[in-house]
Structure 1
Amino acid sequence: MSVEAWSAVAAAVSALAAIVAVVVAFFAWKATKNAAKATADLTKIEARRWHHDLTPQFTFELGPEAGDRTTLKVWFNGPAALGELTVSVTIRNDKPRNSTLAGSPSQEEIDAQVWGPYRFVPHVDGADQHGRAAAPIKLLPGDGRQFSLQRTIAPSWTREEWWRDEFKYAPVRVGLRCTSGDDDPWTVYHEVPTVQGTPLEGRLYAAGRDTDGG
């Protein structure tokens, strides 16, 4: 075989080796990338599981009622690993409410109204002017806080009798946004039953964990 032929063979072998090296490097990179993605996915799954397992747990006590006033006590039961928790409590509507009919109140007026049996007493416990939300509080596991509530006032566009009947047996629906350090926040929802028409007995309602909304 001539020198030229050997040179051509050597060049071809060298090119093939280079191609093989590129292919091997590509599959090694892909395997590394897949392994990194699998590790990242597993880390996310574990982080979500850890976050779910640490969902704050609360207990509530409602009552007794005096006139149009009552109290809502909120206890932070744990988990103890969370340490101090910052909690923002809001009162939620019975259901989504929208302005859809001609001549109906505006969406702004609807949003300002608390649609339920009770609201926070405005400007008490740091509550806003509508009685929707109280100022954030800090709780350690085992600590509790009492909030002042009053019966919601029927808006000007409806009748008082209808309003009372509408929410006669409705629960107090609360949402709690909880933060602890640099952890992602938790949003926890609960319904606290009420007894309308008679004085409310002080009773405890152990709350389950629900972080999916509602």
Structure 2
Amino acid sequence: MTTTDTIAALALAVAIVAAVAAIGSWKAARNANGAAQTLSRIEQQRLHADLTPVFRCAIVANEARSTAMLRIHLEGPPGLLSHDAIEITVSVRNDNPHRGNVPQLAGTPTPEQVRAHIWGPWKFSADGCDDTGRTVAPQQLAVGEWTRYGLTPTSPPTWSASSTQDWLRGYANEPVRLSITARSKDSAWTVPLEVPVTTEGTA
């Protein structure tokens, strides 16, 4: 091997080593960037969880249980103070999340009809609620403040043989299952709640 060949071989070896080192550096940088993105995502998730709104709710019905009032108080957390007011949307959940999940039989209501009905003791009667009384219009609420909504008793579905009296008796001691969706800036939270119903004079 001539001197020229030796120099060429050494140059090739150096180039190979440099290429391997460059690939190693690129992989290390990519892994470091991936780790940084993962840590950033975990931190964002933690901050989002720490800012989950905390609600205190109470429902008081009149003695005849013909009307009731839902009061919602936004207690925190303190981190939400920097968000000013948040937007809340309150909905009534069914007593069973599996309502309407069974196959439809001939002559029975569709799964959509079953899910659309409010399976529970109370629905919204406040201005701005939807046609079914399940959901009320969004409104702004700041930490430390409260709002309230009127409620009215529900009725059995049209295909049920139960009377309204029997229907409501079956829910007499059941809580109202709520879902509060809160939005602020680019964040959103859904908070499920179960609120017991008390009667005026017994709370």
After TM superposition, the score normalised by the length of structure 2 is 0.88
Deviations 1:97-148 (A, max 9, x none): 1153322112232132111111111xx3310000110000100111111101
Structure 1, gaps ≥5 residues long: 204-214
Counterpart residue identity of residue 93, structure 1:
N
> Is it true that 1:194 corresponds to 2:197 in the alignment?
yes
Letter paired with 2:57: F
Name the CA shift for 1:85/1:202 in 2 (closer, same or farther; >3 Å): farther
Q: Is the 8 A contact 2:60 2:70 kept in 1?
A: yes
Would the aligned equivalents of 1:117 and 1:168 in 2 still touch at CA under 8 Å?
A: yes
TM-aligned CA deviation for residue 162 of structure 1: 4.6
Q: 1:70 aligns with which of 59, 68, 83?
A: 68
Correspondences of 1:102-117 after superposition (within 5 Å): 102-117=106-121
> Aligned pair count?
194
**Aligned mate of 2:181, from 152, 173, 177:** 177
Q: 2:33 aligns to what?
A: 36
1:140 aligns with 2:142: yes
The residue number in structure 2 matching 1:152 is 154
SS at match of 2:106: coil
Output the CA distance in 1 between the equivalents of 2:200 and 2:146.
20
Contact 1:89-1:177 within 8 A present in 2 as well:
yes
- Corresponding residue for residue 43 of structure 2: 46
Please tell me the residue identity of whatever aligns with 1:113.
H
Q: Tell me how large the CA RMSD over aligned residues is.
A: 1.8
Name the % identity.
36
The runs of 5 or more residues in structure 2 that have no matched partner are none
Task: Report the counterpart of residue 210 of structure 1 in structure 2.
Answer: none
Aligned equivalent of 2:8? 11
Q: Distance in 1 between matches of 2:13 and 2:127?
A: 78
Which structure 1 residue ranges, 4+ long, deviate > 4 Å from structure 2? Answer: 200-203
In 2: Cα distance, 1:175 partner to 1:129 partner:
18
